[in-house]
Amino acid sequence: MRQIDHFILGETPPATRKHQVWNPSTGEVQAEVALGDAALLARAVESAKRVQPQWAVTNPQRRARVMFAFKALVEAEMQSLAELLSSEHGKTIADAKGDIQRGLEVIEYACGIPQIMKGEYTHGAGPGIDVYSWRQPLGVGAGITPFNFPAMIPMWMFGMACAAGNAFILKPSERDPSVPVRLAELFLKAGAPEGLLQVVHGDKEMVDAIIDHPDIPAISFVGSSDIAHYIYARGSALGKRVQAFGGAKNHGIVMPDADMDQVVSDLVGAAYGSAGERCMALPVVVPVGAETAERLKELLIPAIHALRIGVSSDPDAHYGPVVTPEHKARIEQWITTAEQEGAEIVIDGRGFTLQGHEKGFFVGPTLIDRVTPQMKSYQEEIFGPVLQIVRAADFEEALRLPSQHQYGNGVAIFTRNGHAAREFAARVNVGMVGINVPIPVPVAYHSFGGWKRSGFGDIDQYGVEGMRFWTKSKKITQRWPDGGGDGSNAFVIPTMG
């Protein structure tokens, strides 16, 4: 069986604990990953501390060249990386390539670090006084990343952190750990100093070790909201800089004037793509008015039935299996909960099996109508191929639903009315808004982050916000007195000789 080890500087001690890595398409265990502890983390941090100071004083153009080289290496291995990612996660090859590409977009942005890190300067702030600022790296940063984007989110984190002059410790999900290790190998090959980017595997024991380590001043996390809150609270109490992004329950508001054919196409892709295992998926649709709801439902049913579920390597599959048997059981339990709460199961994905892959972790596409805000299945994140319909009588009710939900990651409105769209975008209590865009993930030169229980901390991911998170600002006020130090006021330019 394949063994997946840590990627740290120096010899790795034998693993005393391991975690199984599944092939979701076949339902078989394909590998084991070593789980580390606080002692292993300490070794990685010591290595990072040794290499980081020299990297920090490497001029930004040279750091940018490493980012450029890394981008080229990842692009050259796109197919093999996507296949490896799909084999452990279950998403289709096309989705896996999208995962990698969205990470590379942040790497592309990080290639501009010489421009991004430029400070400010004021000449003559006072009599003979100038004021300016620098952005300086923090030291050794850490990232704790989820299973659903094993390439994109690590690159979001270490791309900005390392470009800014930091060393980085990455703890990826133990469910699909191979691609993060391969990315670290390619980063080293691109010219990064050995020990600058290291990968440690682990569970809660490793997470706690990262939070508690005194030489890790900044932590970035993406995962569930309960864990995000835990990491934010514990890390902040220790004086660390923490950004922690949690769950989501993104809504799609459908106004009566929307282009319904486009809405259906967008909803099917946003709700069921990657088996719904995306924090920016669109699992709730809110049609405004009874007529809109009935029209939308009538169009959704055949579109959902037309979806093809297949193994991750099937080029014609719209989506593949979910990541583990436990997650499959959890999704199906949420469908049962919705049914018990009185919702209407229009299309039922429970018990779905794929011929020839009966042991795979497949969940059929599910459509649930007559969902209300009081239902637990609406309040919590399902994170699977399940679309819920929550009917709203008017615009104000549709606006209240995402605004009052515990999560505030993303939301979309579908309409031809510019005033309605503008009003919605201004008033909705959610961090990322799409107008006729179902998955409003901002481009790499903006920033990513939700509100409420979707995001803890004041600074978002990537873009200028990412640079600010991984650096600290130093402000310098300077005055150069006239004369040569003899008490005279004569203006003398020193000369050689």
CA atoms within 13 A on the CB side of 170: 34
CA angle 350, 332, 207 (to 5 degrees): 145
CA 251 to chain centre: 19
Structure tokens at 446: 């903006």
Structure tokens at 223: 């995962």
- The answer to whether 279 is a known catalytic residue is yes
Tokens 């979910």 locate to 322
What is the SS3 assignment for 196? coil
CA 435 to chain centre: 21
Q: Which amino acid is at 381?
A: E
Q: Longest Cα pair distance anywhere in the chain, in angstroms?
A: 93
Q: What are the helix (H) ranges across 124-246?
A: 152-163, 178-189, 204-212, 225-237
What is the SS3 assignment for 191? coil
Catalytic residue among 209, 279, 375, 421: 279
Q: What whole-number distance in Å separates Cα of residue 451 and Cα of residue 403? A: 10
Query: For residues 346-367, b (16+ Cβ closer than 10 Å) or e, as one string?
Result: bbbbeebebeebeebbbbbbbb
DSSP string covering 276-303 = G--TT---EEEEBSHHHHHHHHHHHHHH
- Among residues 169, 184, 231, the alpha carbon closest in space to that of 73 is found at 184
Asked if 234 and 395 touch (Cβ cutoff 8 Å), the reply is no
Which residues are known catalytic residues?
279
